[in-house]
Structure 1
Amino acid sequence: MVRSSYPDVEIPAVSIHEFLFGDVDEERLDAVAIVDGMSGATTTYRQLIGQIDLFAGALAARGVGVGTKVGILCPNVPAFATVFHGVLRAGATATTINSLYTPEEIANQLTDAEATWLITVSPLLPGAKAAAAALGFDDDHVIVLDGADGHPSLPALLGEGRAAPEVSFDPATHLAVLPYSSGTTGRPKGVMLTHRNLIANVSQCRSTISLGDDDRVLAVLPFFHIYGMTVLLNFALRQRAALVTMPKFDLGEFLRVVQEHRTTWVFIAPPIAVALAKHPLVDQFDTSAIKVIFSGAAPLDGALASAVANRLGCIVCQGYGMTETSPVTHAIPYDRPDIDRSSVGMLLANTEARLVAEDGSDVEAPGEGTSAPGELLIRGPQVMKGYLNRPDATAEMLDADGWLHTGDVATVTHDGIFRIVDRLKELIKYKGYQVAPAVLEAVLLEHPSIADAAVIGALDDDGQEVPKAFVVLQQGADLDADAVIAHVAAHVAPHEKVRQVEFIDAIPKSASGKILRKDLRAR
């Protein structure tokens, strides 16, 4: 077993609202908390806290409180912080929904999460409304932040002037959020994260990710994703930095925002690193304010990290985590240039890890050099409570001793530096988003011309993982790769689309009928 080399940090037994906003210094209250990267409009900490309280009060007046689940379908705009933390301030649980989801996917998540409210914005209202109608939501249970006929709006709710409610719950057990993850395989499941889980991970990050109150943090990673939720929406605000929001990634806009708002820390996923390393547009903008680029959500290649660092003249680090760990478990400290950038760095404070070989024995940390590989197991206060209404899936992921089985294969050096070397799990990581092969295979098999199909992760020309379909056609069927891609695209969110297709005679399977993905990868 390896234990973090950092001393344990205290995890206060309070709500996430109290932890983040309960002790903002008087002088900091009038500092900028959030900047709208598109318009330049600013929100101070005083204004943000006031809006959160008013929104919580409006929700409470409508019966929202402990036990209520609220869906949030919204891009990265400043109002996201108000409604997300307003929901939690009211004692309710937020389930954050991918902005790219289809109406069917939105409805599936709302149903599984047992949500009875939905918060969205007018550009996403058609999908939200279709999902809400399918579930029988009244229009007054669908809040449209920027306003739509028949729906409550954010200005109207804040304008009611209601005080935030007094709520009581145990932060160690009460669910703050229900983000969705496929775990190591299968369809998405609701990950039960408590107030303590979120507070723990913010507290743990403070010893490794050294944001301060003079930093401006670019928030292009979606807040609905656990990485954006914890590291940006919670951690950056706890550190009293200023968040600069972007609703979606566009390289030109990204570079304009970096230049105009002088952002100092930029949190990304690897596909953005590819653009920063290679695209000629980068040279047309002033990126000199960037001190640190921190990558997560998928593996970052060491050579790519070096290329970005050299081109932009900044520090590039990466970390590792999962939705099930709130998410961060490892990170490269920005002040450790000696650590290999293709590693995921060191364990965060309060965190333990084990590497387990195929035979079930523990891989021992070496006296010098690097260990043999083994499946990475994690234990710490950031580990989820379990999957919502899925005791079997929880038991597969989280053992009786509190060890979470990540499904990733790692090595560790004698000085506690971890590297992810393989993945046991079948999940595909496309641009940091989780794509479950089982979901795409089900869609493929709905096509009348497809006899059998399997999906794996394959590398594109930039070395990034994309969904690749292996397809067996029905006898006499005439179907090309473009038609296969179009069929899948019509039924899933854009990030879940199949990007490559290979036609084969038969899908390799075990005697029990399980797809032999390793054989497909070997092709």
Structure 2
Amino acid sequence: MPPPTTLAQLTDFAAHAYEGLDALADGEVRWNFGQLSDAVHAAARAVIAHGVEPGDRVALWASNSREWLTAALGALAAGAVLVPLNTRYKAAEAADIIRRSGARTLLTERGFLGIDYVAMLHGSGEDLGALTSVVVLRGDATGTALSWDDCLARGREVSEARRSARAAAVRPDDLADILYTSGTTGRPKGVMSTHRQVLAGIEEWSKAVTLRPGDRYLLLNPFFHTFGYKAGFVACLLRGVAMFPEAVYDVDRVLRRIADERISVLLAPPTVFHGLVRHPRLADHDLGALRLAGTGAAVVPVALVDEIRERLGIPGVFTAYGLTECMGVVAVCPVDADAWSVSHTVGLPLPGTEIRVVGPGGPSAGALPPGTAGEIAVRGPQVMLGYLDDPQATARILDGDGWLCTGDIGVLDERGYLSITDRLKDMYVVGGFNAYPAEVENVLRGHELITEAAVVGAPDERLGEVGVAYLVTENGQRPDPAELTAWTRERLANFKVPRRFHVVPELPRNASGKILKAELRRAAQEDTQEAGNGRPAAPGAARHAGERTRQEEPEGESR
């Protein structure tokens, strides 16, 4: 069977190419690729029976599970457009995306972390636009909502010929999904991607990171995120990799599951690997099957790369870079690269992908020389169609030659390896000098007591802006701010030295592990205002910054 050209063909391809191999384990349910394909066929018949037509938008608001996966693939196979929703959303946030995307059907669940999404949404009084039906994938269906089991039962009345015809009618350039960024500059934007774009990017990424048939991949990244969805289960189906979804991260459970299920692939933020290598019972678990570790979304210290290879025994370690606007995949550092390269770069562009570091004139003005910092521009088959119903925002980021300006600052070295130095919008100006937080954060992490650091700009009456640092320290120790100032001043120009330091229990992060700089900027601004009123500012600001609440992430959700 030839490789799939649409996501509607994906499970049939996997069933043929990887017949008999393990495909999925979720609770007591274990499927091979043939059984998974049958389950997706049943899901496709269910959504067809439910009245979903080609091109209809289907929103999916639920945690990682086999129901999420089969319902999503079934909807795609029926020609629908998938609209995933973040499980951390509140009713107003979810309703806004449901309304603006034009979703007619919502697939959701009840009871995840004690949350009743159905009741929360319907009790909110929010305008739900074109939404006409709600289907409960997991949990009891009440009121007008239908259960997924009832939908599957109705789907048995749909003939196999009708299901097959719907899948065959899907074309590579049809819209496959709309994933919403969490943008800091306004409302979330809907990133539109075709079947061709998804498959083109993920095919090259899965080869670059060396996924192979028979691998066993613990899916920690949430399916609503481009990485959990596309570099998660789409990649697994393309490469014959068994999927082990996790709805909630728990380090003890993850450690047990890696050992018990002989997991070979683990992709997660650095904090997950940090927790594993320091787990007090690490030696009690056989992690010998692990061969591939992928991380990113934050700075990865050289020491952590070494610990992953030495303490966890994982030979292949890679970092990667991508944005929602590029299917989450742009560049990959080779899995056998030296620890310094894995730590300090995101490697080489994927085959067929171009990366250009550009100045204020944009891509049309040409590339800057190697070693020069500038905005990262990307061109390739995985670049999005554009933002839904927002041609102006699309034109600002995507030019007529296909170059997408990412808003990230980076440097290409003589090897062609890309380093991400900062977000363009994270830069702040101290007395007329540009300050890039990543540079300051790298220095702070070199202090013996500091394990994590995040720096943001805050208003300052004299200098315009100054740096404010939020720090996670060993065992919560509180280093003397004067000592930190002196230590940092020895290593950085004076204007780059943070003016305030706050020790926090943890840094706020989004679901993919990326630090929520917008939340820290708000905390720093409140800190400044309180200090101006003569009130002690640090404790309140530290508490605010340490809360694990969902806030806006940088647009593009770069990794």
* Residue in structure 1 matched with residue 448 of structure 2 by the alignment: none
Deviation at 1:101, TM superposition (A): 1.3
Residue-by-residue CA offset, 1:321-379 (whole Å, 9 max, x unaligned): 0000001010122244487112101110110111113465544454xxxx211211000
**Cα distance change on mapping 1:184 and 1:127 into 2, 3 Å:** closer
Gaps of 5+ in 2: 428-436, 439-455, 459-464, 475-505, 508-514, 554-559
Letter in 2 for 1:232: G
User: How big is the shift at 1:34?
Assistant: 0.7
Task: Provide TM-score, normalisation by structure 1.
Answer: 0.78
Query: Given the superposition, is the C-alpha separation of residues 353 and 28 from structure 1 closer, same or farther in structure 2, using an over 3 Å criterion?
Result: closer
Q: Matched residues in 1 for 2:368 and 2:417: separation?
A: 14
Q: Where do 4+ consecutive residues of structure 1 move more than 6 Å?
A: 137-140, 453-457, 474-490
Q: Which stretch has the larger CA shift, 255-264 or 133-142?
A: 133-142
Q: Equivalents in 2 of 1:488, 1:411: separation in Å? A: 30
CA change 1:176–1:461 in 2 (3 A) is farther
Instruction: Name the residue aligned to 1:62.
Output: 50
Q: Deviations over 1:21-72 (max 9, x none)?
A: 2333558334321112xx3431222222112122212212232122211111
Which of these residues, 74, 78, 89, is aligned with residue 86 of structure 1?
A: 74
Whether 1:153 aligns to 2:147 is yes
The one-letter amino acid paired with 1:213 is P
**Does 128-137 or 412-421 show the bigger shift?**
128-137
1:142 counterpart residue number:
134
The answer to whether structure 1 residue 17 and structure 2 residue 8 are counterparts is yes
In structure 2, relative to structure 1, the CA distance for the partners of 1:357 and 1:138 (3 Å cut) is closer
Q: 1:53 to 1:345 in 2, by over 3 A?
A: same
Indicate if the aligned counterparts of 2:110 and 2:117 stay in contact, CA closer than 8 A: no
Q: How does 1:413-428 map to 2 (within 5 A)?
A: 413-426=413-426
Residues 54 and 416 from structure 1, CA distance in 2 versus in 1: closer, same or farther, beyond 3 angstroms? same
Letter in 1 for 2:147: S
Letter in 1 for 2:423: R
Q: Select which of 67, 75, 89 maps to 1:101.
A: 89
Q: Secondary structure at the match of 2:399?
A: coil
- In structure 2, relative to structure 1, the CA distance for the partners of 1:362 and 1:270 (3 Å cut) is farther
Find out whether 1:49 has 2:37 as its counterpart: yes
Q: Tell me the CA shift for residue 474 of structure 1.
A: 11
Which deviations, in whole Å up to 9, do the C-alpha atoms of 1:97-153 show, x marking residues without a partner? 111111121112212212121111221462333324533589981111123234322
Q: How does 1:228-267 map to 2 (within 5 A)?
A: 228-267=228-267
Alpha-carbon offset, residue 194 of structure 1: 1.0
More helix as a share of residues: 2
**Counterpart secondary structure, 1:334:** coil
Q: Does 1:35 align with 2:25?
A: yes
Provide the alpha-carbon RMSD of the alignment: 3.5
Contact conserved, 2:530 with 2:537, CA < 8 A, in 1? no
Q: Which runs of 5+ in 1 are unaligned?
A: 1-10, 430-436, 442-452, 499-523
Q: TM-score when scaled to structure 2? A: 0.74
Between stretches 98-107 and 282-291, larger displacement belongs to 282-291
Aligned pairs, number: 459
State the partner residue of 1:507: none
Q: Is the 8 A contact 1:365 1:414 kept in 2?
A: no
Q: In terms of mean alpha carbon deviation, does 175-184 or 391-400 score higher?
A: 175-184
Tell me the percent identity: 29
Partner residue, 1:293: 293
Report the CA distance between 1:83 and its aligned residue.
0.6
Could you tell which deviates more after superposition, 75-84 or 184-193? 184-193
| 1:334-413 alignment, distance < 5 Å | 334-337=335-338, 340-342=341-343, 343-358=345-360, 361-364=365-368, 366=370, 371-413=371-413
Query: Deviation at 1:214?
Result: 1.5
Counterpart contact for 2:108–2:117, Cα < 8 Å: no
Per-residue deviation, residues 238-286 of structure 1 (Å, max 9, x unmatched)? 1111001111111111111111101001011122122134343434422
Q: Judging changes above 3 Å, is the alpha-carbon distance between structure 1 residues 81 and 300 closer, same or farther for their aligned structure 2 residues?
A: same
Task: Decide whether the 8 Å contact of 2:333 with 2:346 is kept in 1.
Answer: yes
Query: Mean alpha-carbon deviation: is it higher for 466-475 or for 321-330?
Result: 466-475
Greater Cα offset, 184-193 or 62-71? 184-193
The farther-off stretch of 59-68 and 177-186 is: 177-186
**Amino acid aligned to 2:142:** D
In the alignment, the residues of structure 2 paired with residue 486 and residue 148 of structure 1 have an alpha-carbon distance, to the nearest angstrom, of 39
Contact persistence 1:53–1:86 (CA under 8 A): yes
Letter aligned with residue 11 of structure 2? F
